[in-house]
Amino acid sequence: MPQGKVESVPDDGLTTRQRRRQPVLAVHTGPGKGKSTAAFGMALRAWSAGWPIVVFQFVKSPKWKVGEETALRALGEVPGGAPVTWHKMGEGWSWIQRPGTERDHAVEAAQGWEQIKKDLAAEAYRFYVLDEFTYPIKWGWVDIDDVVSTLRDRPGSQHVVITGRDAHPALLEVADLVTEMTKIKHPMDAGRKGQQGIEW
C-alpha cells in the first residue's frame, strides 16, 4: 500500500465515497505493548470526526484509572462535542484468574457482550472500543460464533476495534484490519516498574 493506495479495487459497483464509508472491524493483538493505546488513539480520531463513542473494558478493574479514560471522558463533556460512554467490567488484570472469581468474571463478560449486541442492533454509537475482549472469548465466556456473526452482520457504519492477546482465528478472519503488536524490548525486561504517563 504505497502512499495509502489500494493494490486492487473489487468490481462490486461501489463508488469511492461509498468505499470511504464502509464500517471497519479492527483487531489489535499480539504480545507487545500498545494494543489499547492504539485503539484509544483511533477513538480520539473518531471523537474529532464527531462520532459517538463507547468503550467496554473487559478485564480492567473499575478502580483502575487510565489516562485515556480521563481524557476521553473529559472530551465527552465538551459542549457541542461527541459523547463518550465508558463501561468497566471485571476485577482487574483478570487474565491472571483468581480462584473463586472466574464465575463473576464470566457473568460480567456475558452481560457486557449482551449490551454490545443491543447497542450494535440499535446503532447506538459510531465507534466501539472492546478493550481486552479477546480474553473472554479465549476463556469461553463469550461464544466466538455469536461474536463473529454479530460483528459481521452489524447494521449501518459502526466501527469496532478489539484489543487483547491471543485473538481467536475466526475473529482475525472476519476482521478488516489486524495488527499484531510484537515486543522487541520492554523496560520491565530490566526490572523497571510501570509508570504513570506511560502505562496508564
Nearest to 84 by CA among 102, 101, 65, 71: 71
Domain spans of the chain, in order of start = 44-182
Residue 85 confidence (pLDDT):
95
Angle between helical axes of 144-152 and 102-122 (0-180°, round to 10): 20
Give the Cβ contact number of residue 63 at 10 Å: 8
φ, ψ for residue 45 (rounded to 5)? -65, -40
Over pLDDT 70: what percentage of the chain? 86
Give the Cβ contact number of residue 93 at 10 Å: 13
φ, ψ for residue 27 (rounded to 5)? -130, 125
Burial of 101-121, coded b for 16+ CB within 10 Å and e otherwise, reads eeeebeebbeebbeebeebbe
Using CA atoms, how far apart are residues 25 and 126, in angstroms rounded to an integer?
Answer: 12
Residue 66 confidence (pLDDT):
76
Low-confidence stretches of the chain (pLDDT < 50) are 91-96, 101-103
Q: Right CATH number for 44-182 from 3.40.50.10320, 3.40.50.300, 3.40.50.80, 3.30.1490.20? A: 3.40.50.300
Number of residues assigned to the chain: 200
Q: Does this model's pTM top 0.95?
A: no
Nearest to 137 by CA among 95, 198, 178: 95
